[in-house]
Amino acid sequence: MSFVYYFLATLLYLAALPYLIYLRFKPKYKDSIPARFFLKNNAHFSRDGIWFHACSFGEVRSLNPFIAQIEPKDIRISVITQTGFKEASKHWLAEVRYLPFEIFLPFWIRKQKVLIVMEAELWPLLFIVAKAKGIKTVLLNARISDNSYTSYQRFSWLYRWIFSHIDLIFAQSREDEERLRRLGANDICVCGNIKAFSTYEVTHVYPKDEAKRVIVMASTHEGEEELLLSQISLLDNDQLIVVPRHPERFAKVDKLLTEYAQKKDRTYQKLSEQNSLTSDIILCDKMGELINLYAIADVVMLGGSFIDGIGGHNPLEPAFFEAKIMSGEFIFNQKVLFEAVENAIICKIEDLKNVFDSIENYPKSTITHRGDIKPLLEQILGK
């Protein structure tokens, strides 16, 4: 089966070459495509390290508590996205690489002590080749959402094959554990979402004007900004900061907020142009600033949850800073994290106006419990 899969993956690679070359010239992929699909500046890791693999920025950041417990010279981190690579590179003594496309893995992977893969990065040849080279394989923070479970079941034969090459799985919940077992996984431990192990530190301190109520629309997706703006009425002392999830949408949201500010007779700025919070309405068009804005937020409207299909975003970060959290009802990807937060408000879009108008009557959100990472890491490393 491995040979057949490799053959099909090779055909897919050859067929996709023209499109990959086209994508290579887009800023979003200018580094990741050459590295992953052409191995440009993407040498293999040194041997005998502890190898973490994560997809993107958020997953890499959630690994920080684990990485902090390991000797920097032993750390290997592979990623998929450019934002993930930038975040991983903050661990300056670690070896950081883009994970090559699967057909290159048999020649690229070198023997490591353990491979720790985050969440749904279930690349078959990643686990198969790692096991063939004598590497212990671990799937960390595993979950199967309600929406994706049907798809997993449809291809259960594929996942059964993948799970047969994974030594140890840490699931987020009992429900995830049951679903994983039905798909053929073994040796499963339930540890909750590892993001609950994290602590959050600001990288830039924005002075807070105590006369203003700071409202952050965080990690918003297509259509959410307009929807949310139509449901809320800002007070005279409100300062609204909008943080789109994806940077490629900055220009579109800039246009929307410019028109909104003019209509409401409010001042407006882009954070990248002033790097200070001086206007009534602000577009955060810089990456990595959300945690700094949570630190001064009074109210956080957590995006990805007011329209169906996204599944919500991490509420632990704003709860860490005790902001009042408002979320939409579509949080199927974050249920475990919301269970760790007290006083987060979950509301349907038609109830949003009433909740927002009375938000001052709601208590601040807090994190109810935090995990102990050391026993978990000892189990992963076999100590």
What's residue 383's pLDDT? 57
**Cα(63)–Cα(77) distance, rounded to whole angstroms?**
10
At 81 the pLDDT is: 93
Residue-level pLDDT at 371: 66
Task: Supply the DSSP symbol for 248.
Answer: G
Q: How far is CA 291 from CA 268, 284, 296, 305, 345, in A?
A: 21, 12, 9, 19, 20
Q: Which two tokens stand for residue 175?
A: 């429900």
Contact partners, residue 83, CB within 8 Å, separation at least 6: 56, 57, 287
Q: Which residues contact 347 (CB under 8 A, 6 or more apart)?
A: 326, 327, 328, 329, 355
pLDDT by 10-residue block (mean), the chain, 383 residues: 90 95 91 96 95 90 88 94 91 92 96 94 95 96 85 89 95 92 92 82 90 96 96 95 95 97 96 90 94 97 95 93 96 87 94 95 88 81 75
Nearest C-alpha neighbor of 264 from the set 220, 229, 228, 224? 229
- Sheet hosting strand 324-327, strand order edge to edge: 268-270, 281-283, 238-244, 213-220, 299-302, 324-327, 345-346
Going by C-alpha positions, the residue among 70, 52, 195 that lies closest to residue 117 is: 52
Q: Where in the chain is the domain with CATH 3.40.50.2000?
A: 213-367
User: In this predicted structure, what is the pLDDT of residue 195?
Assistant: 81
List all residues 6 or more positions away from 137 whose beta carbon is below 8 Å from its beta carbon: 114, 115, 117, 127, 130, 131, 165, 166, 167, 168
Residue 169's region, left for phi above 0, alpha for psi from -120 to 50, else beta, is beta
Mean pLDDT of the chain: 92
Contact yes or no for 142/172 (Cβ under 8 A): yes
Name the architecture of domain 213-367. 3-Layer(aba) Sandwich (3.40)
Evaluate whether 325 touches 305 at the Cβ level (below 8 Å): no
Contact 321, 346 (CB under 8 A): no
Q: What is the CATH class of 2-199+373-381?
A: alpha beta
Sheet of strand 168-171: strand arrangement: 95-98, 75-79, 50-53, 114-118, 136-142, 168-171, 188-190
Residues of the chain with CATH 3.40.50.11720: 2-199+373-381
Other C-beta atoms closer than 10 Å to the C-beta of 212 total 16
Predicted TM-score (pTM) of this structure: 0.77
